[in-house]
Structure 1
Amino acid sequence: MLHTFGRLPSVSRQELSLLIVTVVWGATFTIVHVAVQQSGPWFFVGTRYLIAGMISVLVFGRGLGQLSRAEVFAGSAIGAMIFLGYGLQAVGLQTIGGGTSAFITALYVPLVPVLQWVVFKKRPQLLTWVSVALAFGGLVLIADPARAGLTVGPGEIATVVSALPIAVNIILIGWFAGKVHLGRVIVVQLLVAGALGLATMPVVGERPPDFSWVWLSAAAALGAASCVIQLTMNWAQRTVSPTRATIIYAGEPVWAAIIGVFAGEQLPAIAILGAVLILASSLLSAFDHR
């Protein structure tokens, strides 16, 4: 144990890439919250991921002729989780703020190791549980639910439910990583997520929105970002475990808070303490080499 803690943990290129992904994610809550004020959530999610899918077709289109059944299954499973997770999150963001949404969505942090234990019988090590606890505690402090006036309404309920498919999405990416072609699976998962989003509109009675540069520019920007994010996640999680990746993703609200400061928002002392706890959890998780 002394030997383990006696040397600094190394950070791989894959882990650094996932860290960059969390920075990009940090800005998405506010962008989606603004966009769904002028567009229905399922239309926005569908448009966002169809744009991402079309970009991925341009990048990986040459290899689509070799698409296998296994890749269709993997991409469809991951795409369905993206659709459910971020669709329900967008539903919630119609009525709740980005900070509250980030706190509730972060329920996926403890869910990932629990699901891995239940489904794959991979019992987490003690360091993993400590890291998850620190990360989740930090997220609570950043959100400061007492200050934000956290209540339980339709938006909060939708966001709570979204945490489960987001956790499953992370696990599925880790499960299929290295077993299927990266580019072809990304194309399938993004197009499936987009198609399911638009297909949900008539089911829930959502109508296409009036044209607005706000939702169009947001969908285009997040579509491009989603393509890069999914590419990075699928590539990096070939070597980074889902639990360790989740702890890295837990830094998302930290970056959201930092971005908020540059946008003129105030960062209270309790949020700074939360950021420190999440940083500590990420460093501690680096010592877990399972």
Structure 2
Amino acid sequence: MTATASLHRSRALLMLLCANFFWGLSFPVIKGVVLVQERLVPLAGSWFYTVNVVAPRFLLGVILILLFRPRTFFHSTRAEWTQGVVIGLFSAAGMLFQNDGLQFTAASTSAFLTQLYAILIPIYVALRSRRAPGPVVWLSCGLVLAGVAILGRFDWRAAHLGRGEWETLLASVFFMGQILWLEKPAFAANRALNLTLIMFATQAVVFGGLTLLTMPDWAALGTMWTSPAWVALILILTVFCTVVAYWLMNAWQPKISATEAGLIYCVEPIFGSAMALFVPGLISAAAAIAYANESLTMNLLVGGGLITAANVLIQLRPPLRHA
């Protein structure tokens, strides 16, 4: 690998870590949004709460991008439309099944099963290329899964596959599809901002329709937008956890392999756990809700250490060839 190629790869890894940082921030912020919604519209139902967290992010994301680059839609190529719509559908389906599955299984189980794309990607790449990914990749995958299991306090004795587990597994497959479509060589010339805009527009349409299906009445939607706390939290989700994070993903993930990307994305629980140590208290004070900070535990230290070790290990080996 040349010095220039190594620099670009290192920069790509750093940018994807930044994206994971913002996605980690999204966990306590989303929880805060839901708690505010429950206070404002107490009888709306869990489906409405879930969808109404996601839909505004992508709708406002489209608006923000168009404010700065109003001609992006009209100057997008056919390849950018194709990739953006497909990735948007993969992402929307993954979010939908993941959030619905959470209604029927424990959060720790959901976190563990969602991260299975770290295993599914190298298996898929190996089957497609008819070549084993190598022992370092498998060892890194094992460390990631062990780390996520410890972080989520996964209980093997209570594990079973009901509706929630199957839906979460299906969500992981869709997230894998999103990662793989993003690295397709045929779309290498696509521009990240155009791709991000089309992806957001696709998800805004999907979740906007689901909002209309799940809302109790129009007054429930209006009540949300009259709350300064809800609007502020949604803007944080939109700007940092959606526009910036997904733009970084779309711009820099194609510069590394899908297997490496899948493992790097597993750092997200570390950032999420760290944010949960202090962000809930800040949200509680600002939004006048009861949302306590979490505590630093051995699960966080051990689980986070295993995930970090897996990512260091995968980066010390020669870079994987793009599939």
On the 8 A contact 2:87/2:199 being kept in 1, the answer is yes
Name the CA distance, whole Å, in 2 between partners of 1:260 and 1:131. Answer: 26
Q: What residue is the counterpart of 1:180 in the other structure?
A: 190
- Code of the residue aligned with 1:252 in structure 2: it is E
Q: How does 1:31-50 map to 2 (within 5 A)?
A: 31-36=29-34, 38=37, 39-50=48-59
Q: What residue is the counterpart of 1:124 in the other structure?
A: 133
RMSD of Structure 2 on Structure 1 (CA): 2.9
1:218 equivalent among 223, 233, 236? 233
Name the CA distance, whole Å, in 1 between partners of 2:141 and 2:15. Answer: 20
Corresponding pairs, count: 281
Q: How does 1:187-266 map to 2 (within 5 A)?
A: 187-201=197-211, 205-207=214-216, 209-210=220-221, 211-212=223-224, 213=227, 215-224=230-239, 225-263=241-279, 264-266=293-295
Q: What residue is the counterpart of 1:281 in the other structure?
A: 310
Q: What residue is the counterpart of 2:23 in the other structure?
A: 25
Residue 29 (structure 1) shift: 2.4
Give structure 2 stretches of 5+ with no counterpart. Answer: 1-5, 38-47, 280-292
Q: 1:138 to 1:66 in 2, by over 3 A?
A: same
- Code of the residue aligned with 1:171 in structure 2: it is L
Q: What residue is the counterpart of 2:299 in the other structure?
A: 270
- Code of the residue aligned with 1:23 in structure 2: it is F
Name the CA distance, whole Å, in 2 between partners of 1:25 and 1:223. Answer: 11
The TM-score, its normalising length taken from structure 2, stands at: 0.76
Q: 1:193 to 1:61 in 2, by over 3 A?
A: same
On the 8 A contact 1:135/1:277 being kept in 2, the answer is yes
On the 8 A contact 1:89/1:162 being kept in 2, the answer is yes
Q: 1:29 to 1:122 in 2, by over 3 A?
A: farther
- Code of the residue aligned with 1:289 in structure 2: it is P
Report which of the two structures shows the higher radius of gyration computed on alpha carbons: 2
Name the CA distance, whole Å, in 1 between partners of 2:128 and 2:31. Answer: 34
Instruction: Work out the percentage of aligned pairs sharing the same amino acid.
Output: 24
Q: How does 1:75-86 map to 2 (within 5 A)?
A: 75-86=84-95
- Code of the residue aligned with 1:250 in structure 2: it is C
